[in-house]
Amino acid sequence: MKPVIAIHGGAGTLKRSRLKPELEAQFRSALAESLTAGYSVLNRGEPAQNGVVAAIQVMEESALFNAGVGSVFTHAETVEMDASIMSGADHCAGAVAGIAHIRSPIALAQVVMQESEHVFLIGSGAEEFAREQGFEVVQNSYFHTDWRRQQLLKVRDQGRVLLDHDSDKFGTVGAVARDMAGNLAAGTSTGGMTNKRYGRVGDSPLIGAGTYADNATCAVSATGHGEYFIRAVVAYDIAARMRYAGETLERAAHQVVMERLTQMGGEGGVVAVDAQGCISMPFNSEGMYRGCIDTQGDTRVRIFSAE
C-alpha cells in the first residue's frame, strides 16, 4: 500500500489579513517539513507510529507551534506538556502529561506504549521513567520563548486563561498515518493553555478524546478547545460512527466536528485517515494549520478555511 500522512498544527482564528506574509511562509514551510519527515519514514517501510512521531517531532522543535519548544506558559511561568500516541493494529497506546524536562513528549509517549505496562504516566513519575529509558533531559527554559512569556503576562494580568485556539499564530500539533502494511496510527502533542493552573490537562493525551487509532476504522488527532473534545470523546466518536453506523470517514468526521461539537459550543478540528487511505481534515474554526500527503503522493499544505 502507498503510505498516507496528515498533520495539524492547531486550529483557531486564522485570517489571512492577520498573518504577515513572511510568517505565513514560515508556517507553510514548517508544515511541509513535518510532512516530509513523516512520509520519508513511512516510505522506508517503517510502521505508521514511527511516521507519526517523526512528523510531530519536527513541530515540537519549531517555536511556531504550541508543543515542545514554543509551548505556552502556565500561571507559574513554567512549561508543562502533554502527548499521546496510539497504534491501530493492536490498539496499544501511550500517553504522558505534565512533562517539563523531556525534549520530545511524543517520543516519550511512544516508549510508554512500547516499554511500559501502563498507558498513561504523568509528571515526575513520567520523567523518572524517561530517565530510566535514556531520554535526554533538558532545563524547562529550553522550551521558553519571549512571545509566549509576553502572552502569559498579558492574560495573567487580566485574570484569565488563553485557550490554545484563541491565538491566531500557534497551536497543538498532531499527525495520523497509514503505513505500507495498511496499519494506522495517531499522535498528538501540546503545551496546553496559557496561564493554566492546578495541573490542568486537556484532550491531547487522552486516548479517545484527542487521539485514537483503529485499523478497522480510522486514526484521528484533534486540536481545539480541549474541555469540549474530552466531553464529546471526539476521536473515538468518529471511529465509532464508522464501526457501528457504517458511516464513511468524511461523514463521521463532519458530523462530529461540524455538528455535534458545534452544538456543544466547542471549537477546533481534526485530521483523520481511514484504512483505505482516505483523508479528512474538518474544522469549525476560521482556520487550521494542516497538511497531508495522499495515496498519489501529492502534498497539500493549508491554513485558511477558503483553501
Q: Residue 219 in contact with residue 4, Cβ under 8 Å?
A: no
* 3-state SS, residue 271: strand
- How far apart (Å, rounded) are the C-alpha atoms in residues 94 and 115? 9
- Element (DSSP H or E) covering residue 58: helix 48-60
Q: Cell numbers of 167, please?
A: 491565538
Residue 271 φ then ψ, to 5°: -120, 140
Q: Residue 247 in contact with residue 241, Cβ under 8 Å?
A: yes
- How far apart (Å, rounded) are the C-alpha atoms in residues 85 and 175? 9
Q: Cell numbers of 241, please?
A: 460512527
Q: How many CB atoms are located within 10 Å of the residue 137 CB?
A: 12
Q: How many CB atoms are located within 10 Å of the residue 306 CB?
A: 8
Query: Across-strand partners of 293?
Result: 5, 299
* 3-state SS, residue 197: coil
Q: Is 172 part of the annotated catalytic residue set? A: yes
Q: Which of 172, 190, 194, 217 is catalytic?
A: 172
- How far apart (Å, rounded) are the C-alpha atoms in residues 101 and 283? 32
Q: How many CB atoms are located within 10 Å of the residue 199 CB?
A: 11
Q: Residue 59 in contact with residue 52, Cβ under 8 Å?
A: no
* 3-state SS, residue 16: helix
- How far apart (Å, rounded) are the C-alpha atoms in residues 98 and 75? 14
Q: Cell numbers of 294, please?
A: 495522499
Name the residues annotated as catalytic: 172
